[in-house]
């Protein structure tokens, strides 16, 4: 492999137009998870106000972001299901990546609000009804388990669904923290533990938010998908029979589950460009599971070709 460039006759192959699985398969399970989360969120807000528990209110706020993230994931899945058209030659798959970005940013913002209130309550903790916190936290945990199960039933492992699942999993941890806080308070422990539980939820939200922002940014910056080593792929192509050189290799992810590759391949003089291209595309499909490929194939004899114009006859 090298970084050289060349011009001249070439064989251009564009194969593997099988895109990621349809986002329509996700929408049923996203809808079920949304109904579970939104239905319980209202109950948790009321219970949190009655019990005076920041842990419950922070968990309810997290459930609000859960519901918003799932709703956004539903909208993104609907857009992603649209076929490529007009200027959008790759379709609308990256709507799901934008959804993951927004969800990650929302987690960061809400975690900051909860953290500020949690720190304030550490210095001046209000009275908290531990029994209400225990009951509502336990029911919330069951709801989160059911929602997580529904999202896990999704046929695709898209970043969009992963974002919604991360919200629900962090909320499950939050429900667990609320239960622990309720047990401690009901047993006569310090009321400050409620604020500590809320800060724990905020920390989990920051972790989930960072994970979503980092993963979606990699896609938007067109980094090679995780598990795909461009050097390994390039050396595998260059080592094939008849291949002289591979350069200008690019591996990126259009959207979740949709890796793509483009490369410039130089083959031996007089070799069958189309045959070599088909062999390389089959290698990419079988060994690396890359089905969307664009290979430009040239003969080595055309590299650095210089055309000399005949000189005019002398008089």
Looking at CATH, the fold of the domain delimited by 225-302 is given as: GMP Synthetase; Chain A, domain 3 (3.30.300)
Q: What CA–CA distance (Å, rounded) separates 117 from 119?
A: 5
- DSSP track, 228-246: --HHHHHHHHHTSTTEEEE
Q: What is the mean pLDDT of residues 206-212?
A: 85
CATH number of 24-220: 1.20.1510.10
> What pLDDT score was predicted for residue 14?
52
pLDDT at 99 over 90: no
Domain boundaries, the chain: 24-220, 225-302
Q: DSSP of 82-105, one letter per residue?
A: SPPBTTBTTTTTTHHHHHHHHHHH
Overall pTM surpassing 0.85 (yes/no): no
pLDDT in tens, 238-249: 999 889 999 899
**Hey, CA dihedral for 141, 147, 153, 156, is it positive or negative?**
negative
Q: What does pLDDT average to over the chain?
A: 78
């Amino acid at each position: 492999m090298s970084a050289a460039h060349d011009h001249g006759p070439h064989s251009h192959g564009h194969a593997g137009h099988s895109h990621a699985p349809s986002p329509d398969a996700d929408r049923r399970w996203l809808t079920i998870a949304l109904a579970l989360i939104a239905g319980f969120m209202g109950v948790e807000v009321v219970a949190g106000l009655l019990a005076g528990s920041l842990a419950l209110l922070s968990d309810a706020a997290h459930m609000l972001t859960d519901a918003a993230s799932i709703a956004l994931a539903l909208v993104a899945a609907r857009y992603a299901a649209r076929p490529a058209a007009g200027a959008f030659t790759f379709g609308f798959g990256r709507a799901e990546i934008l959804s993951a970005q927004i969800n990650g940013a929302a987690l960061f913002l809400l975690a900051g609000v909860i953290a500020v209130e949690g720190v304030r309550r550490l210095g001046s903790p209000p009275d908290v009804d531990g029994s209400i916190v225990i009951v509502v936290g336990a029911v919330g945990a069951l709801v989160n388990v059911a929602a997580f199960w529904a999202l896990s039933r999704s046929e695709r492992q898209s970043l969009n669904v992963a974002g919604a699942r991360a919200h629900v999993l962090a909320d499950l941890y939050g429900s667990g923290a609320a239960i622990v806080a309720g047990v401690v308070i009901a047993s006569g422990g310090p009321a400050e533990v409620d604020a500590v539980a809320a800060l724990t939820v905020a920390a989990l939200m920051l972790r989930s938010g960072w994970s979503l922002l980092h993963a979606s940014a990699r896609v938007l910056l067109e980094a090679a998908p995780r598990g795909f080593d461009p050097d390994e792929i390039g050396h595998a192509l260059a080592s094939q029979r008849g291949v002289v050189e591979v350069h200008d290799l690019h591996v990126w992810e259009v959207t979740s589950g949709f890796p793509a590759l483009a490369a410039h391949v130089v083959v031996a003089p007089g070799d069958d460009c189309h045959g070599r291209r088909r062999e390389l595309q089959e290698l990419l499909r079988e060994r690396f599971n890359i089905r969307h490929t664009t290979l430009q194939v040239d003969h080595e004899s055309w590299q650095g070709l210089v055309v000399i114009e005949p000189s005019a006859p002398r008089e």
